[in-house]
């Protein structure tokens, strides 16, 4: 694959991992390359730049795999990348529950792997990873010693890459029940086969730990709670009571089970419903909480959705702020990589202001260190968590 003369070669040499269709010479032969093929990337003067994975059917035609133009993308290559990723996680965490591979941040473009003890859930969200899945899984089992490997095919990226949406068991067996995960003193129940994404969101771990410090003795409202992310962490931090709101009855059942396992069932309430509607209903009920958290799904998953997404974040802030008691805390989160921190913060402050409240910004958090950011790829730093005192 060869770059056009006007392509930004310097960015690629400095670590940019993606090459788009308008940067490459896409002749008939290039367009006929099978998705997932490994190729040599050259600049317009035919100087080698590295080994790339190719998918002519995607806007991201080439993904940089290795700066070595002669790299063999085989089991040994995967094992080296996975060993490097594992060494970081084992230094950070004393139990094998974490994101093991964070795609480009760990040098495996489009690949996400979450670990739950002796089970790994793999999301091969790029064609090259699907094509080389056997080698990846062989290396994963060899490096980590896990006995079960599941494939989750629900990632949005797979659709963009022209891949199927079929979940499968790649090694061993799928667990026959939700897996308990201990984080920040809380117990979460992760459904590895029927839940959202890989079953649990590890990325908020550090932010949940901070928020738990504010929760002691407070009534807590966790909106878009999934399996109880912030709510259960608040209970572990000594909250008087936590109410979790989510649209999924299955997720709330897992949150309830987690609270019971923590011995906190009497301090926990699940409320199923649309988040926007429930916030409005609670305002009508004159409900007040010392701590309110809103951690919605991505409202702005792509650049064309940014304006609409920011309006949704503003609306969430406007509806949530009146439920916060005086001198209480409001936590607002975004996992939309297309909405940057400044834009998201502005939307939150507009919503808070339009509710008639004023705010201090206490904390700005991102994903934990098991979600390493590739500085040359803004999309790898997607998570934002803001803590306000009202």
Report the catalytic residues: 335
CB atoms within 10 A of CB 29: 8
Phi, psi of 22 (to 5 degrees): -80, 0
Burial of 238 (0-12, 13-18, 19+ CB in 10 A): middle
Q: Which residues contact 362 (CB under 8 A, 6 or more apart)?
A: 329, 387, 388, 389
188, β-bridge pairs: 181
> Using the 8-state DSSP alphabet, how is residue 370 labeled?
T
| Rounded Cα gap, residues 390 and 387, in angstroms | 10
Q: Determine contact, residues 275/247, Cβ cutoff 8 Å.
A: yes
Pull the structure tokens for residue 319. Answer: 């509806």
DSSP string of 61-109, one letter each residue: EEEEEES-TT---SHHHHHHHHHHHHHHHHHH-SSSEEEEEEGGGGT-T
- Give the 3-state secondary structure of residue 267: helix
């Amino acid at each position: 694959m060869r770059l056009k003369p006007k392509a930004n070669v310097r960015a690629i040499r400095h670590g940019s991992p993606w090459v788009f269709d308008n940067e490459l010479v896409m002749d008939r032969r290039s367009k006929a390359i099978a998705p997932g093929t490994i190729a040599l990337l050259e600049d317009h003067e035919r100087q080698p730049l590295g080994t790339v994975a190719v998918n002519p059917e995607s806007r991201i035609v080439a993904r940089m795999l290795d700066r070595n133009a002669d790299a063999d993308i085989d089991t040994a290559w995967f094992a080296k990348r996975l060993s490097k990723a594992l060494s970081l996680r084992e230094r950070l965490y004393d139990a094998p529950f974490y994101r093991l591979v964070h795609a480009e941040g760990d040098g495996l473009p489009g690949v996400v792997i979450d670990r739950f003890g002796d089970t790994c859930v793999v999301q091969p969200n790029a064609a090259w990873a699907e094509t080389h899945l056997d080698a990846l899984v062989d290396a994963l089992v060899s490096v980590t010693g896990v006995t079960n490997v599941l494939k989750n095919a629900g990632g949005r990226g797979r659709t963009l890459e022209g891949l199927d949406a079929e979940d499968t068991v790649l090694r061993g067996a799928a667990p026959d029940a939700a897996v308990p995960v201990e984080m920040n003193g809380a117990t979460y129940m992760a459904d590895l086969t029927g839940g959202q994404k890989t079953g649990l969101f590890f990325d908020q771990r550090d932010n949940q730990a901070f928020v738990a410090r504010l929760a002691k003795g407070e009534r807590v409202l966790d909106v878009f709670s999934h399996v109880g992310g912030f709510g259960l962490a608040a209970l572990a931090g000594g909250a008087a009571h936590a109410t979790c709101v989510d649209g999924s009855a299955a997720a709330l059942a897992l949150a309830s089970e987690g609270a019971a396992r923590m011995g906190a069932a009497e301090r926990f309430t699940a409320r199923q419903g649309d988040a926007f509607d429930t916030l409005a209903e609670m305002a009508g009920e004159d409900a007040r909480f010392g701590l309110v958290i809103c951690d919605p799904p991505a409202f702005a998953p792509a650049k064309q959705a940014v304006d609409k997404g920011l309006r949704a974040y503003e609306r969430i802030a406007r509806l949530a702020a009146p439920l916060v008691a005086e001198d209480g805390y409001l936590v607002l989160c975004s996992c939309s990589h297309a909405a940057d921190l400044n834009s998201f913060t502005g939307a939150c402050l507009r919503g808070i202001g339009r509710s008639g409240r004023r705010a201090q910004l206490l904390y700005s958090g991102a994903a934990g260190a098991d979600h390493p950011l590739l500085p040359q790829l803004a999309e790898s730093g997607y998570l934002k968590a803001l803590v306000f005192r009202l």
